[in-house]
Amino acid sequence: MDFFLEKTNLEPPTEHELRQWSPIRFAYIGDAVYETYIRSYVLMTDRRKIHEINQKSVKFVRASAQAYAVKTMQEFLTEEEWAIVKKGRNQKSSSTPKNADITDYRYATGFEALIGSLFMRDDKRRMEEIISRAIILIETMEVA
């Protein structure tokens, strides 16, 4: 992200500024980052047609899968990371999920907030560690 910031004449937000962000702000960017990693993963592991690849991607990005992954890896997360998940999970949302259980939707928001927080803090290694673990967990889910 350093190159991007330099080319756009932006300064990265300070830790103090990031602590002021709502979990929904982190979830907003976390959703996009996570989906980009999922699309990359599916493109590299699946040689079928784009329609079928897209359907496989949905398996990873739907709320129930994200909720399953983040709840399953709770022990793997630090206390600070889990606190971010809980803040995201507890955040009131103006929208309601169309095809998801509300509890799953909230945990998915917490998961996306965690990914967004790590992304904005430029902790790419930890973010990729969590996304990789989520992919493995979702790949092996009993009910997809």
Q: Which of 44, 33, 54 is nearest to 127 (CA)?
A: 33
The amino acid sitting at 73 is M
Active-site entry in 31, 101, 122, 123: 31
For residues 22 and 130, give the distance between their C-alpha atoms in angstroms, rounded to a whole number: 21
Tell me if residue 101 is catalytic.
no
Active site (catalytic) residues: 31
